Amino acid sequence: MGKPTGFIEFTRELPGKKPVDERRNHYNEFVERYPEEKLTQQAARCMDCGVPFCHHGCPLGNVIPEFNDAVYRKDWKEAYEILDSTNNFPEFTGRICPAPCESSCVLGINQPPVAIEEIEKHIIEIAFEKGFVTPRKPNLRSGKKIAVIGSGPAGLAAAAQLNYAGHFVTVFERDDAPGGLLRYGIPDFKLEKWIIDRRISLMEEEGIVFKCHSNVGVNVHINDLLREFNAVVLTGGSTVPRNLEIPGR
């Protein structure tokens, strides 16, 4: 797997950033992409550990050594499939996850850890560019209908998985567009909104229905939902920020 001596030969490098002068003019993302050689070098630093602590550290259980190896081999499709097998939205996590995988990385014991999050982002963006990411519809529909309430990360993930399982899924969102925290809590320089739109339209093509301006309990009656759907999934987030209990606040 990968290059056995990669971690000795290469050190950690992150992609470049757009010049400050340019950055001043907009709120968009400013981290650039690796050139291909740099990307595979960074993937080659993965040691394919016998006990991959990164894989343990990742809350999703991303199979990190495997996709690193696929990136090293420039097998973009394979890399995407591995990533996709544990992660519905790598384009989000690749940008905004605090990356506990990197703090668990074994190489990190005595060297800078593998740039896992960047690699993750590159895999999914390359997959979009190369057209690997296509809507996948279940072959057989179960006939069951499910309501998902809330379109934040949890709601979207639940919707995607239930849809793959063959159920008809409708997502209810009280705001004017789906995404929840992704859309309304994270600034553009971390996550531009077209990225969310790209995913939502894929999900729509896969058969998921999004109903915005639908505030369940307010303008959507709960009894209607219970009557109309076989199951209801509550995936609401919190609009109450967590206060920092320190003096002077």
Partner 1 sequence: MAGNTGLYHPSYEHDSCGIGFIANIRGSKSHPIISDALTVLENMEHRGACGCENNTGDGAGIMIQMPHEFFFDECLKLGVHLPSYGKYGVGVIFFPKEIRLREECRDIFNRSAEKLGLEVLAYRKVPVNKDDIGYTALTVEPEMEQVFIACPDHISNPDDFERKLFVLRNYASHTIHETVKKDAIGFYIASLSYKVIVYKGQLTSLQVRRYFPDLSNKRVVSAFGLVHSRFATNTFPSWKLAQPFRFIAHNGEINTLQGNLNWLKTSEKCFTSPYFSKEEMEMLLPIVTEGQSDSACLDNMIELLTLTGRSIPHVMMMLIPEAWDDNTEMDPVKKAFYEFHSSFMEPWDGPASISFTDGKVIGATLDRNGLRPSRYCVTTDDRVIMASETGVLPVDPSIIKEKGRLQPGKMFIVDMEKGKIISDEELKKQICSQKPYGEWLNKYKIRLEELPEPRVMFTHLEHDQVFKYQKTFGYSTEDLDSIIAPMAIEGKEPVGSMGIDTPLAILSEQPQHLSSYFKQLFAQVTNPPIDPIRERLVMSLATFVGNNGNMLMEDPLTCHSVALKQPVLNNHDLEKIRSIDTGQFQAKTLQCYFRADGKPGSLKSALDRVCEYAVDAVEDGFKVLILQDRAIDSNHAPIPSLLATSAIHHHLIRKGMRGQVGLIVEAGDVWEVHHFACLIGFGATAINPYLALSTIRDMKETGRLQTEEHEDQLKKNYIKAVKDGLLKVFSKMGISTLQSYQGAQIFEILGLNKDVVNKYFSGTTSRIEGMGLDEIAKETLTKHFFSFSKKDIPVDRLPTGGVYQWKRKGEFHLFNPQTIHLLQDSTKRNDYSIFKKYSKLVNDQSEKACTLRSLFQFKSTRASIDINEVEPAENIYKRFATGAMSFGSISWEAHTTLAIAMNRIGAKSNTGEGGEDEKRYEPLANGDSMRSAIKQVASARFGVTSLYLTEADELQIKMAQGAKPGEGGQLPGHKVDDWIGRVRHATPGVGLISPPPHHDIYSIEDLAQLIFDLKNANRQARINVKLVSKAGVGTIAAGVTKAKADVVLISGHDGGTGASPISSIKHAGLPWELGLAETHQTLVKNKLRSRVVVQADGQMKTGRDIAIAALLGAEEWGVATAALIVEGCIMMRKCHLNTCPVGVATQDPELRKRFTGDPDHVVNFFHFIVQELREIMAELGFRTVNEMIGQVDNLRLRDNITHWKFNRLDLSPILYKEPASAYTGLYCSEEQDHGLSDVLDWKLLEAAKPAIDEKKNVIASFDIKNTDRTTGTILSNEITKKYKGNGLPDDTIHFNLTGTAGQSFGAFTTKGITLELEGDANDYFGKGLSGAKLIIYPPASALFVPEENSIIGNVAFYGATSGESFIRGKAGERFCVRNSGANVVVEGVGDHGCEYMTGGRTVILGDTGRNFAAGMSGGIAYVYDVKGKFAESCNTEMVDLDECDLADKNELFTMIQAHYGYTGSTVAKFILDDLDNQLKNFIKVFPKDYKKALKQTVLPKENVRR
Q: Which stretch binds partner 1 (CB under 8 A): 35-43, 76-84, 144-152, 192-200?
A: 76-84
Minimum CB separation of residue 200 from partner 1 in Å reads: 21
Instruction: Kindly state whether residue 59 participates in binding partner 1, applying the rule CB under 8 A.
Output: no
Residue 100 and residue 92: Cα distance in Å, rounded? Answer: 15
- N- to C-terminal Cα distance for the chain? 52
Q: Which two tokens stand for residue 139?
A: 């072959």
Number of other residues whose CB lies within 10 A of the CB of residue 134 = 10
Q: Strand, coil or helix: what is 18? A: coil
Question: Residue from 15, 100, 166, 236 that binds partner 1 (CB under 8 A)?
Answer: 166
Instruction: Kindly state whether residue 168 participates in binding partner 1, applying the rule CB under 8 A.
Output: no
Minimum CB separation of residue 92 from partner 1 in Å reads: 21
Minimum CB separation of residue 109 from partner 1 in Å reads: 7
Residue 15 and residue 34: Cα distance in Å, rounded? Answer: 5
For residue 44, give Cα distances in angstroms to 55, 68, 113, 122: 17, 7, 12, 15
Site residues for partner 1, window 80-109 (CB under 8 A)?
81-82, 85, 104, 106-107, 109
Q: Which residues bind partner 1 (CB under 8 A)?
A: 1, 4-5, 7-8, 47-53, 55-57, 61, 63, 65-66, 73, 75, 78, 81-82, 85, 104, 106-107, 109-111, 136, 138-140, 164-166
